[in-house]
Amino acid sequence: MGRYVVTGSASGMGAAVAEALRTAGHTVIGIDRDTADVTADLSTEEGRRAAIDAILEKSGGELAGAVFAAGLGPARDRERVIVEVNMAGVTDLLEALRPALAASEKAKVVVFGSNSTTATPFVPARAVRALLRGDRERATAILRRRGPMLSGPAAYAASKIAVTRWCRVHGTAPEWAGEGIRINVIAPGPVMTPLLKSQLDGPSAKNVRSFPVPVREYGTPDQLAQWVMLMLSPAADFMCGTVVTVDGGTEALLRGRDWPRAVPLHTVPRVLWQMYRAPKKGQVAQY
């Protein structure tokens, strides 16, 4: 039985994952703003530092895995706090917990992204790049220029695109995959949690309700928790840098013609460079 960190453990999908892990006999270190093993505000640097210190103390220096479910949905005038929680609330913690994860033989990390990453229009690419550089102030300024109607959804999607890309780029590097840590992302569509309920009751309810879901129902926290449990299990030993979309078909409906897609010409040099450099750096086993 292992020791797992779950952020956002007090509500919705994080709570469902924490319960599933505890039911399976694992130890959970739950992090949330309240009603958690560790109460911390992941929107501030001090809060993230406090969470990291408490986790390291409780973990005894070894973690079997971590699930990052804490997150804020799209909301007007909340751009800065959205990017703080959804991006830095994952990456700051992951960087600090890396040695504890590497201490396990095959640690698993699951990060909650969103199918908004592929379904939201008008997300400024410059904001995503700023987030990946760690410049959240600049990202927020760019996002606010989208105006009051679009800046909330754009901030949400930008934060989820950036965190997903971070997981795919860093997760496959020697310090992570090379140390046995498997980082994967789950991208839900609308799942009936307090986050979705607040959107259905809020000013953008009409837009949320008109979001097309081909299977004609919302997901449940338990369904998503089962996918996460699989992504934490030995079945995921051979899974790394993958985005698992569980969204009732929305992403395929909206973007089904966009991928899979052949490697575009301008990325061929990078792909070839990665391909031939990898074995030399010991990223893949030699047989």
Q: How far is the CB of 144 from ligand NAI (least distance, A)?
A: 20
Residue 212 · residue 270 · CB < 8 Å: no
Tally the residues of the chain: 287
The answer to whether 191 contacts ligand NAI (rule: CB under 6 A) is: yes
Which residue, chain included where needed, has tokens 């930008």?
Answer: 158
Please choose, from the candidates 109, 3, 1, the residue with its C-alpha nearest in 3D space to the C-alpha of residue 57.
3
The answer to whether 69 contacts ligand NAI (rule: CB under 6 A) is: yes
Give the C-alpha distances (Å, rounded to integers) separating 112 from 3, 14, 227, 277, 281. 19, 9, 11, 30, 30
- The residue within the footprint of ligand NAI, chosen from 2, 27, 37, 41 (CB under 6 A), is 41
The answer to whether 117 contacts ligand NAI (rule: CB under 6 A) is: no
- Choosing from 4, 156, 218, 287, the catalytic residue is 156
Q: How far is the CB of 143 from ligand NAI (least distance, A)?
A: 16
- The residue within the footprint of ligand NAI, chosen from 4, 6, 8, 232 (CB under 6 A), is 8
Q: How far is the CB of 135 from ligand NAI (least distance, A)?
A: 20
∠ Cα 245 248 249 (to 5°):
75
Q: Which stretch binds ligand NAI (CB under 6 A): 10-18, 98-106, 131-139, 255-263?
A: 10-18
Residue 141: exposed, middle, or buried by beta-carbon count in 10 A (0-12, 13-18, 19+)?
A: middle
- The residue within the footprint of ligand NAI, chosen from 195, 231, 232, 244 (CB under 6 A), is 195
The answer to whether 33 contacts ligand NAI (rule: CB under 6 A) is: yes
Binding mask 151-190 toward ligand NAI (x if CB under 6 A, else -) reads -------------------------------------x-x
Q: Give the containing element (helix H, strand E) for 112.
A: strand 108-112
Q: Give the containing element (helix H, strand E) for 183.
A: strand 182-188
Size of the site for ligand NAI (CB under 6 A): 26
Closer residue to ligand NAI, CB minimum distance, 174 or 214: 214
Residue 52 · residue 96 · CB < 8 Å: yes
Q: How many CB atoms lie within 10 A of CB 261?
A: 7
- The residue within the footprint of ligand NAI, chosen from 5, 67, 72, 97 (CB under 6 A), is 72
Q: Give the containing element (helix H, strand E) for 109.
A: strand 108-112
Please indicate whether residue 218 is annotated as part of the active site. no
Q: Which residues are catalytic?
A: 156
Residues in contact with ligand NAI by the rule CB under 6 A: 8, 10-14, 32-33, 41-43, 69-73, 85, 112, 114, 188, 190-191, 193-196
